[in-house]
Amino acid sequence: MSKKNIWILNYQIDDIQSVSNISNNLVALYEGLPQMFYNVLILELQDMEKVSSTSWNHRDWLVRFKETPPHHVIIVHPHVINHIFLSAIMNAQTKFTTQFIFHVFGNFTRHGATWFKLNHLMINKNIQFVAASRCYLELLKNFVAEKNLSILPFPISVPDKDNMLACLPQTLDVLNVLYTGRYHEQKNVTSLLEALGEISAEIDKKIHITLVVYFDDFNPTTLNTQKQLGEQYNLFSNMLNGLHERITVTLVPHTDVKHLYKLYSENDVFMSFSTFLDEDYGCSVIESLSCGTPCIVSKWGGYKDFCTEFPDDCFGADIILEQDGFYIDLSKLAHFIKLISQRTLLQRNKLPQDALAVVGNKKLLDSAMIILSKTFNFSGFDLSLSNFSRDLKTGHGRDTFEGFKRIYKSFWEI
């Protein structure tokens, strides 16, 4: 049996570490496909899009595509692929039909108008849009036929054995909490700190929280709002002045994966109350679980999958989302913290194996090969994708917010 050829069109955004990690890990996963069945070729899109490389390879690669078309083209891009190159290979007349696989991550809906401009290229092509979680697949169903949708969780770097052997807290009267990611309006980190202050007396513990963050003022919020440089850091600084006396905070700049995994294993719990539009999976959650550290998270987006798959290790707090903010059940939060405080070393050390059984490479490769076997022609995006994208960028007020809640209902509904 002849091998199938795969082209991976990869795009890395170096200034957003989490996105770059997703891209690298997805590419590494496909490189792990059985070599007896697949040849994998990687093209770095960011090199293609540099001004100095406009004459680069576009024509050479198009000729190669026509002469020896790959069986599969896999696009790993947080937004939308380079239009010139995509248009060329999708319009190319070849001896057989290439399957195009788009890994959807980042804010798909906000770029909806751009995606919609590709409709004429995609119709009647063999296409799969791959989401990382069930909730994001449900969101995509608003715009794409279900036959053209698949799920493949984002792979993660596997922690080394030292970080997989978690430690019980050394100080029983202090709860050590970790949050990693952006400090952004929709990440609700300030609300997290305020909530911990409110329940600290009830749980009879001091709380130390380590924030591994970068301050993000410019990523789009739920609705179109104007942001100023330094706004999130100023909010953080002002919040520290009024912090509850039982709460202490350590601020750590974004760090490498090895150090991050060490932090996961050294803390009692990972917590996030995110209601971010891009929360299509939750890499921090599965990274924490794979280091043996339980989680308390908002029942939002991709987090919900982990709450279902790890009901004794990833606790989901119900949220109420309104235009002026969100509200969380503090009594449940206190209850979850008490449960985590009672965990044994055996429970923590068993958790990494349980986590890797869900997102280990063997299971993910099996899922990837199923996606590669699909042959469903694409009938086009629903027009509502373009309209909704426009409303997100320009709309204000209750009507726009209610439209957002309708499209994103899978993010918080059970």
Interval 76-129: pLDDT, tens: 876 666 567 888 888 888 888 899 999 988 778 888 888 888 899 899 999 999
The partner residues of 177 in beta bridges, in order of sequence, read 209, 269
3-class DSSP state of 68: coil
The length of the chain, given as a count of residues: 414
Q: What's residue 396's pLDDT?
A: 53
Helices within 165-246 (DSSP H only): 189-203, 231-241
3-class DSSP state of 320: strand
Checking phi first, is residue 202 left (phi over 0); if not, alpha (psi -120 to 50) or beta? alpha
- Rounded Cα gap, residues 411 and 414, in angstroms: 8
Note the pLDDT tens digit of each residue in 264-274.
999 999 999 99
For the chain, give every domain's residue range: 4-155+365-411, 161-359
322-336 average pLDDT score? 79
Q: Phi then psi for 365, rounded to 5 degrees?
A: -65, -40
Q: Phi then psi for 218, rounded to 5 degrees?
A: -115, -10
Of the candidates 371, 377, 302, the one whose C-alpha atom is nearest the C-alpha of residue 144 is 377
Which of 216-225, 314-323, 336-345 is predicted least confidently?
216-225
Note the pLDDT tens digit of each residue in 30-57.
999 999 999 999 988 766 655 444 445 6
DSSP per position, 82-101 = -HHHHHHHHH---SSPPEEE
Task: Using the predicted structure, report yes or no on whether residue 11 has a pLDDT greater than 90.
Answer: no
Give 314's pLDDT tier (boundaries 50, 70, 90).
Answer: very high
The β-bridge relationship of strands 319-322 and 325-328 is antiparallel
Q: What's residue 117's pLDDT?
A: 85
Task: Using the predicted structure, report yes or no on whether residue 307 has a pLDDT greater than 90.
Answer: yes
Residues 407 and 135 sit within 8 Å (Cβ to Cβ): no
Tokens of 150: 């698949």
- Rounded Cα gap, residues 343 and 385, in angstroms: 45
- Rounded Cα gap, residues 404 and 109, in angstroms: 10
DSSP per position, 167-187 = ---S-TTEEEEEEEEEE-GGG
Tokens of 270: 């990972």
Structure pTM?
A: 0.89
Say which residue, 300 or 161, is predicted with more confidence: 300
Task: Using the predicted structure, report yes or no on whether residue 303 has a pLDDT greater than 70.
Answer: yes
Task: Using the predicted structure, report yes or no on whether residue 170 has a pLDDT greater than 60.
Answer: no
Note the pLDDT tens digit of each residue in 137-156.
999 999 999 999 999 999 99
* Mean pLDDT score of the chain: 84
373-383 average pLDDT score? 95
Residues 178 and 212 sit within 8 Å (Cβ to Cβ): yes
169-193 average pLDDT score? 84
Of the candidates 371, 413, 404, the one whose C-alpha atom is nearest the C-alpha of residue 130 is 371
Which of 238-242, 345-349, 373-377 is predicted least confidently?
238-242
Task: Using the predicted structure, report yes or no on whether residue 222 has a pLDDT greater than 60.
Answer: no
Q: What's residue 88's pLDDT?
A: 85
CA diameter of the chain: 70
Rounded to an integer, what is the distance from CA 394 to the centroid of its chain? 25
Q: Which of 85-90's residues contact partners 24+ apart within 8 Å by CB, and which partners? A: 85/9, 85/45, 85/48, 85/58, 85/61, 86/118, 86/121, 87/121, 88/58, 88/62, 89/61, 89/62, 89/65, 90/121, 90/122, 90/125
Task: Using the predicted structure, report yes or no on whether residue 221 has a pLDDT greater than 60.
Answer: no
End-to-end Cα, the chain, rounded Å = 45
Give 59's pLDDT tier (boundaries 50, 70, 90).
Answer: confident
Q: What's residue 6's pLDDT?
A: 97
Q: What's residue 351's pLDDT?
A: 92
Note the pLDDT tens digit of each residue in 228-282.
667 888 888 887 887 878 889 999 987 788 899 999 999 999 999 998 878 889 9
386-404 average pLDDT score? 70
Q: Which CATH superfamily is domain 161-359 in?
A: Glycogen Phosphorylase B; (3.40.50.2000)
Q: What's residue 7's pLDDT?
A: 95
* Residue 208 CB contacts under 8 Å (≥ 6 apart), including other chains: 174, 175, 176, 177, 247, 248, 249, 250
Q: What percent of the chain has pLDDT over 90?
A: 40
Q: What's residue 368's pLDDT?
A: 97
Q: Phi then psi for 219, rounded to 5 degrees?
A: -70, 140
